[in-house]
Amino acid sequence: MPFVIEQQDGKRRRIELDGRGLPYPSGVRWGGEQRLESTWLPGSPDAVVQLFGPKERDQSIEGRWATDRMGGDSPSCIVRVDGRQLPTALEAAQLLDLVRIEGMLLRVSYESEVRYGFLRSFEYGPMPEGRTLLRIDWQAQFEWASRNGQMAAPAIPSRLGTSLLSNRLAILAQQVESVDVEMRGQADALRSRLAEPVATLRKTAAAAANLAASWVQRASSAASTAQGTIGITNEVLVSHYAIAGAAQSVAYSQVASRQEFAPVPGRVGGVQSDAGLGSTVVVARDARRMLRLARDLAALGDSVAASTAAALHETEPQVAYAMRGEDLRDVAQRVLGSADAWRDVAAVNGLAGSEVSPGFGLLIPTARRQLLTET
């Protein structure tokens, strides 16, 4: 069975490698990996794992072509282009290098395995034992983009923070509840003021958990998950203000009450004594604990909102229009400052090749534009 390379645009060449023209078997390996991100939260023995889908591993192959085996009626080293056998190893190598330069989407197949991607690199040179290009050693590296030829636009990056928000918020909500329980009978005035904010925080934590579950299960899109995450961070900040405000208000009222109505303390052994001072200390302590947890809530909301907003911003494209005589390389050079970025533009717009019509509107991903600007 031949190793087949087919251009999906441009010249649409079909290149077949067979017999001694096949790559060495050791390099022909298929498979990939599952993209995932694990987060280990402090105090938790289990990781939170977020899946982002499979990715095909790039393939590096190499081989050897000899001109004396490529001619005649029955060549043993077969390198065909559109059904025509190439007569020399140099011509075969130059053809593959031209495929690299043209940068078209390729369909590569071998027996039942099929991948779509690009020829990232191709190198060739004379065999070690020879000094001419009649016999050539070559190496090629393919970068796969798909198994079915349909390349989706880039997804929102993994910095959404949805799972982090859910798990960290659950821990903070539990700590708030724990302090609330400890205040029973000792700081009831503070508890009553915190009842509504604590109940709201409990609902917000549940909403964050549901959103994280829908994101991991892919029940909702990345964009809607991002918007939902930002919405929940806003609710977290509202809870922060409510809890902090209640804690400060009760603490101040307790101090004012002690100053206005407390009797002049007596002195026992040179140390002031006040029978009611204990409850004031308890309220002040618990109010301080609540304030600290409120600050943690604010820090969590701010950080997750910032990272998620940045992730959204990186996928917001600008629009550029192809001018007469331009292809994607020209557009990428004009808008991004690098012709090599045309594949990113093609992927975002669902295009297989570099050819576009004049006036064609193209989406230019912000993240790619910023990266090239910074470099």
Residue 292 has pLDDT above 60, yes or no: yes
pLDDT at 216 over 70: no
**Higher confidence at residue 163 or residue 97?**
97
pTM: 0.45
In this prediction, residue 264 has a pLDDT band, given cuts at 50, 70 and 90, of very low
> Binning pLDDT at 50, 70 and 90, where does residue 214 land?
confident
User: Is residue 302 over pLDDT 80?
Assistant: yes
Q: Looking at the domain 317-374, which fold is it?
A: Membrane-bound Lytic Murein Transglycosylase D; Chain A (3.10.350)
pLDDT at 266 over 50: no
Look at residue 8 in the predicted model and tell me its pLDDT.
Answer: 84
C-alpha separations of 204 from 151, 164, 231, 314 in Å: 37, 14, 10, 27
The fraction of the chain above a pLDDT of 90, given in percent, is 25
Is pLDDT above 90 for 168? no
Mean pLDDT of 197-215: 85
pLDDT above 50: residue 375:
no
19 vs 364, more confident: 19
Query: What pLDDT does 270 receive?
Result: 41
What is the C-alpha R_g of the chain?
Answer: 33
Burial class (CB in 10 A: 0-12, 13-18, 19+), 284: middle
Ramachandran class of 350: left when φ > 0, alpha when ψ lies in -120 to 50, beta otherwise: left
Q: What is the pLDDT of residues 47-105, one digit of tens each?
A: 777 676 788 889 999 999 999 999 888 999 999 999 999 999 999 999 999 999 888 88
Q: Hey, is 207 helix, strand or coil?
A: helix
Average pLDDT over residues 39-45: 74
Identify the pLDDT of residue 33.
87
- Average pLDDT (34-42) is 77
What confidence score (pLDDT) does residue 339 get?
86
Please determine, for residue 158, whether its predicted confidence score (pLDDT) is greater than 80: no
How much is the pLDDT for 94? Answer: 94
**Res. 273: pLDDT tops 60:** no
Is the domain 3-146 a CATH 2.40.30 member? yes
The answer for residues whose C-beta is within 8 angstroms of residue 298's C-beta and 6 or more apart is: 236, 237, 240
Mean pLDDT computed over 215-219: 57
